[in-house]
Chain A
Amino acid sequence: MRARRLLSSACLLLAVSHSALAQTAGPFSLTLGVVPQFPAVETQRRWLPVTESIGRACSVDIRLEFSTDIPEFEGKFLGGKFDLTYVNPYHAVMAHKAQGYVPLVRDGEKPLKGVLVVHRDSPIKRLSELSGSTIAFPAPNAFGASLYMRALLEREHQVRFSPDYVKTHGNAYRHVVKGEAAAAGGVMATYLAERTEIRDQLRVLYETPGAAPHPLMAHPRIDTSVRRCITEHLTQASPTISTLTAAIQMSQPVKADYARDYQPLEKLALEKYVVHGAP
């Protein structure tokens, strides 16, 4: 306890001294890349309050960098363009392998679960009945909804199907509602966030095992004191911070650990299911 206090005090002194240096030299800038799940405007609306809060706390200037689609985004983080990046779990593995990105925080409330839904009135009761049918997915490399789900369907359930990538989770669910796909892959969070009238017409057929949710990662070139400051700032028990992080799908931010949270994904060999160049 005493040691922890000493450590906290030292960190605080470091942060203060760094902050003082930064003030004398002017705040240095960091770039943040966010996986393009939402339109750029929506991404900015959700993330700007968070970056401003971190900037005030850690005396840094964080600038958002937008990507029009996933391939562009992947290309950027694989090239180490972002100082900070918010990625899906498989992207986390890719970024770590490619550039040594370190996960700082992730949501600790619910694990990331992929769901497979069918129409409420559909006669399909088992996964095997989906063989030969069309299944809608948001994107080929979406981790929970597509990548992880397709790997499990094929590898563990031996289901052969035709994937139809329809850009978004909402489109995937609506394709099932409209009868244009027998099933759709998504994640539990987006499924529960759907409009009631859509959700009432769907039925969950299958759920993947839980995986650690999207992490906020930092490039190893970023000073550890800054990384620690960001981690401590986002994980502090404060209603204000909780409100901000809820908007970026981290209701309860906790400190992330690559070895514990994301390294197990390496064993799944998801590379086989990655579609390079896909949006």
Chain B
Amino acid sequence: MINPLLAGGRWFAQRPLRTQILALTLVSAIVIIGLVGSMSLKNRLQQAEDESVDWAVALSVMAARTAAAPMLEKDYTTLELLVHDLIALPGVQAVTLVRSGAEIAMEARRSLDGSTTAYPINKRVPVPATAFQRDASHVHAYSALMYETGAGQTATFQPELASRYGWIEIEMSYSDRLAAAQHDWITASVLSGLLIGALIWLLSVFLNRVFGPISELAEFAVALTSRPGEVIRMRWGSREVRELGRALNWASQEIATQINQQNQRVTRLRAILDTAADAIIGIASDGTIKSANPAAERIFGVPQDQMVGRAASDFLAGMNTSGLAEAIANGMFFHSTQSRIGKLEINATRHGGTEFPVEVLLGEIPDDTDIRYVCIVRDLSDTKLAEEYLTLYSRAVDCALNGIAITDARRHPQPYVYANPSFCRITGYAAHEILGRDGRILEGPETSPDDLALLANTLQSGGDLTVVLKNYRKGGALFHNKLSVSPVRNADGEITHYINIIEDVSGQIEVKQRLIERTARLNATFDLSPDGFAVFDREGELVTSNPSFRAMVGDIPAWCSLKRFDSWFRTLCEEPDSCRPIEEAIKDRRKDIIAIARPAPKILEREIRKNLGGSGETILYFRDVTHQVEVDRIKSEFLATAAHELRTPLASILGFTELLLHRKYNEERQKDMLATVHRQGTLLQNLIQELLDLSRIEARQGKDFHIVAHRLADIVRNAVEGITNADAGRVVQVQEPMEDLLVMADATKIEQALTNLLSNAFKYSPNGGTVSLRVESAEHEGEPVALVHISDQGIGMTPEQLSRVFERFYRADASGNIPGTGLGLNLVREIAQIHDGDVTLSSQYGVGTVATLRLKLAALTTEEPVTANA
């Protein structure tokens, strides 16, 4: 059984001396503070209580003397002021004034808002026996209102005097005083505790200063061997401690000096071994490797620690025990050291089994029992590889198709120091003619000075450059030399040489020039063509389109790809569904006729080609065939109408002649039928004649017209006379006198036109009526013209009929009762327009029609005929 006290004491004794002193001081302080504190608290509380009692008694005596007179006079106001002053004093809780006979005259008590005063009626209290009474927190002090004492004597409380004269009672609480005393004690205790804490802290600091250096010296001595030369600085300590520190510092420096000298020697050797480029291997007499330097690890690819212990012959072929001895025996003998050095070139084996050539120098250390041989191995791989690469590069440069020459940048004016065979071939110079000369040997009259200046600047700034120069071969032949110049710098960054690579690009430039010219021609053709072209590349992006294409379809959107163009173009079509997609049209390579509504109604012929020349481009070709289609349509329509008009009288002729041939009719009937045949034949003849006239006019466009100056009156009178038939009632009312107007006209054609107009006037006046003619001069678009008005009082025309009256074969009379071909008015318009004139009609249905022929007045006033062409 271990005594815990003894064990604790032993444990405490093993603590550091500093800890022991601090612990004992702290415990002592706590014990002393506890004892002194508890005693002082008890005394302080008792003192506060006694003081309160003394204070209350003294106060009651003083108050009694003041209150005696007012009590006798029943001056309650004065008494009330006195009592309230007493209540206002600290600790006073209540004041009672008792008059003789132990009846309460007035009592006052402290309240929250000051004090309350009461005047009880006939309330009595017992006479107090002592000057005061006290309990745990209050004291009641009594004083008679009058004392029978002599001067200078202390008033002593006597119950009989109190009963006789009355008394005053003051109740005072001393709990506040006790609380204040307690508070003072706590404050003092805390301050004492803090003071003792501060003292202990100061003691701790002092002990640290005393014992700290000793601990540091101990630690320093322990670490002396591991950190030789280190010096301890004693910031604070006693004289003995500082002497001990100085001794330890001296010992440390001595040890450090010796170790440094040893380390320097080892370090030098280690540095030699570590920085050697060649592998240095220590080999034991049995042929195993004992040591290897970092170069050995780098050369053989095996970590140093893994090489140690292995046979030297694993890395160096033939370097076993006998091989080593033989190499030494065959080595050179040095008299200075009386030793032999073996030198041989053998193959070594790298990690992974790769063999490589090495040069081995082998020395022997006879006295060393651990390492017998020192072997220096030099790797010859790089040397041999460099030789091979140098040969390869030289061959490659010699074989290059481009001319390669090297100039010496350190000399002026930078002579060629090397030129490959291609350089000689391109320039026509032999190598010996080139070397030692500079680039000016290739220059001539057409060599651009600007290009040369650029080249010179580039060389001066140390940059590289590719430029095409016009150079000359040895024979003076011009060639385009694409020259690339690059600097070669040495290890210091200084330019030592320039590599000049030349290429004869004359053929390329000629082809390029031709291509540019051809492209320009094609572009001009492309732009001037009336047909539209648009080219899309392999990815479907729009490459180009010519102006005609844009004129046909409008401005193509900028974002347009082939697919989008196809969609967009279909929105332009009159019938988008009938427009085939481009992809489909590409497949069968068929031309499409497409009618578009926007930007202007047109009929386009579309053809699409793809993969032209293997470039994958898509070419859209558009041709405007609107006019051609319209002409075809008009021709077809005209032919159909003409055939129909010709067939109608022919059917009548054939029908009546067939009847006359196969049946018998009386003479009158026959005559009637023959008259019909004759009439239809005449109609047919007129029709054919007018068709021929129209055809001729259209075909020749007035080239057969003999347009000269004529008097209009003469032409008009001839036409009127030709149609006038008084017996048939056909009389034209000509307004006389007619103006003497000279017009440019083919008299025959104008007369034919007037005859047609007058004939129509009579034909469309079946019920008679006046047909009148009037001539006048007027102005049309600033020029003088002659107008011939022919008016009738016939059936007239509706606005719809009037709008179509110039159409070929159109008849205002659809019943057929009025004979006619439907070509007359059209013929009149053709004749008028060839004369730079026109014909217009105005009509009112049921009232009549007015036809006006406009003709240009002749400038001449003579009647001398002048041809139209003249």
Cβ contact within 8 Å between B75 and A171: yes
Cβ contact within 8 Å between B75 and A167: yes
A270 and B840 CA atoms in complex are apart in Å by 147
A166-B74, A167-B75, A180-B74 known; A174+B80 contact, CB < 8 A: yes
The reply to whether the CB of A168 lies closer than 8 angstroms to some CB of chain B is: yes
The reply to whether the CB of B73 lies closer than 8 angstroms to some CB of chain A is: yes
B residues 69-125 in Cβ contact with A at 8 Å:
73-77, 80, 105, 116-117, 119, 121
The reply to whether the CB of A75 lies closer than 8 angstroms to some CB of chain B is: no
Interface string of A147-181 (1 = CB under 8 A from B): 00000000000000000001110110011011110
How many interface residues does A have (CB within 8 Å)? 14
Q: For A171, what are the chain B residues with a Cβ–Cβ distance below 8 Å?
A: 74-77
A197 and B119 CA atoms in complex are apart in Å by 11
A197 and B76 CA atoms in complex are apart in Å by 14
Q: Identify the interface centre among B77, B80, B105: most chain A CB within 10 Å of its CB.
A: B77
Cβ contact within 8 Å between B116 and A197: yes
Cβ contact within 8 Å between A179 and B77: no
Q: For A167, what are the chain B residues with a Cβ–Cβ distance below 8 Å?
A: 73, 75, 77
Chain B residue at minimum C-beta to C-beta distance from A136: B74
Chain B residue at minimum C-beta to C-beta distance from A119: B121
Quote the shortest CB–CB distance from B328 to chain A (angstroms).
Answer: 132
Quote the shortest CB–CB distance from A38 to chain B (angstroms).
Answer: 11
Chain A residue at minimum C-beta to C-beta distance from B79: A174
Cβ contact within 8 Å between A178 and B119: yes
A113 and B80 CA atoms in complex are apart in Å by 26
Cβ contact within 8 Å between A170 and B117: no
Q: For A177, what are the chain B residues with a Cβ–Cβ distance below 8 Å?
A: 119
A177 and B75 CA atoms in complex are apart in Å by 13
Q: For B119, what are the chain A residues with a Cβ–Cβ distance below 8 Å?
A: 174, 177-179
Quote the shortest CB–CB distance from B122 to chain A (angstroms).
Answer: 8
A197 and B111 CA atoms in complex are apart in Å by 13
Q: For B116, what are the chain A residues with a Cβ–Cβ distance below 8 Å?
A: 197
Cβ contact within 8 Å between A175 and B121: no
Cβ contact within 8 Å between B76 and A174: yes
Cβ contact within 8 Å between A170 and B121: no
Q: For B76, what are the chain A residues with a Cβ–Cβ distance below 8 Å?
A: 170-171, 174-175, 178
Cβ contact within 8 Å between B77 and A168: yes
Q: For B74, what are the chain A residues with a Cβ–Cβ distance below 8 Å?
A: 166, 171, 175, 180
Chain B residue at minimum C-beta to C-beta distance from A170: B77
A180 and B116 CA atoms in complex are apart in Å by 20
A167-B75, A170-B76, A170-B77 known; A179+B121 contact, CB < 8 A: yes
A175 and B119 CA atoms in complex are apart in Å by 9
A78 and B168 CA atoms in complex are apart in Å by 44
Interface string of A176-202 (1 = CB under 8 A from B): 011110000000000000010110000
Quote the shortest CB–CB distance from A105 to chain B (angstroms).
Answer: 29
A168 and B73 CA atoms in complex are apart in Å by 12
A178 and B76 CA atoms in complex are apart in Å by 9
Quote the shortest CB–CB distance from A268 to chain B (angstroms).
Answer: 29
A127 and B119 CA atoms in complex are apart in Å by 25
Q: For B117, what are the chain A residues with a Cβ–Cβ distance below 8 Å?
A: 195, 197-198
A180 and B73 CA atoms in complex are apart in Å by 13
Quote the shortest CB–CB distance from A186 to chain B (angstroms).
Answer: 12
Q: For B77, what are the chain A residues with a Cβ–Cβ distance below 8 Å?
A: 167-168, 170-171, 174
Chain B residue at minimum C-beta to C-beta distance from A168: B77
Q: For A179, what are the chain B residues with a Cβ–Cβ distance below 8 Å?
A: 119, 121
Q: For B80, what are the chain A residues with a Cβ–Cβ distance below 8 Å?
A: 170, 174
A residues 107-121 in Cβ contact with B at 8 Å:
none
A residues 29-59 in Cβ contact with B at 8 Å:
none
Quote the shortest CB–CB distance from B608 to chain A (angstroms).
Answer: 111
A167 and B119 CA atoms in complex are apart in Å by 19
A167 and B75 CA atoms in complex are apart in Å by 8
A106 and B521 CA atoms in complex are apart in Å by 131
Quote the shortest CB–CB distance from B585 to chain A (angstroms).
Answer: 111
A178 and B121 CA atoms in complex are apart in Å by 6
Quote the shortest CB–CB distance from A172 to chain B (angstroms).
Answer: 9
Quote the shortest CB–CB distance from B114 to chain A (angstroms).
Answer: 10
Quote the shortest CB–CB distance from A166 to chain B (angstroms).
Answer: 7
Q: For B105, what are the chain A residues with a Cβ–Cβ distance below 8 Å?
A: 178
Interface string of A238-272 (1 = CB under 8 A from B): 00000000000000000000000000000000000
A residues 181-230 in Cβ contact with B at 8 Å:
195, 197-198
Q: For B75, what are the chain A residues with a Cβ–Cβ distance below 8 Å?
A: 166-168, 171
Interface string of B263-278 (1 = CB under 8 A from A): 0000000000000000
Interface string of B588-611 (1 = CB under 8 A from A): 000000000000000000000000
A197 and B109 CA atoms in complex are apart in Å by 13
Q: For A180, what are the chain B residues with a Cβ–Cβ distance below 8 Å?
A: 74
Quote the shortest CB–CB distance from A6 to chain B (angstroms).
Answer: 52
Q: For A168, what are the chain B residues with a Cβ–Cβ distance below 8 Å?
A: 75, 77
Q: Identify the interface centre among B76, B77, B116: most chain A CB within 10 Å of its CB.
A: B76
A-B contact pairs, 10 of them (CB 8 A): A166-B75, A170-B77, A171-B75, A174-B76, A174-B77, A175-B76, A177-B119, A178-B105, A195-B117, A197-B117
**Interfacial residues, chain A to chain B (CB-CB below 8 A):** 166-168, 170-171, 174-175, 177-180, 195, 197-198
For the complex of A and B, 5 pairs with smallest distance between CB atoms: A170-B77, A174-B76, A178-B119, A179-B121, A177-B119
**Interfacial residues, chain B to chain A (CB-CB below 8 A):** 73-77, 80, 105, 116-117, 119, 121
Q: Other CB < 8 Å A-B pairs besides A177-B119, A195-B117, A197-B117, 9 of them? A: A170-B77, A171-B74, A171-B76, A174-B77, A174-B119, A175-B74, A178-B121, A179-B119, A198-B117
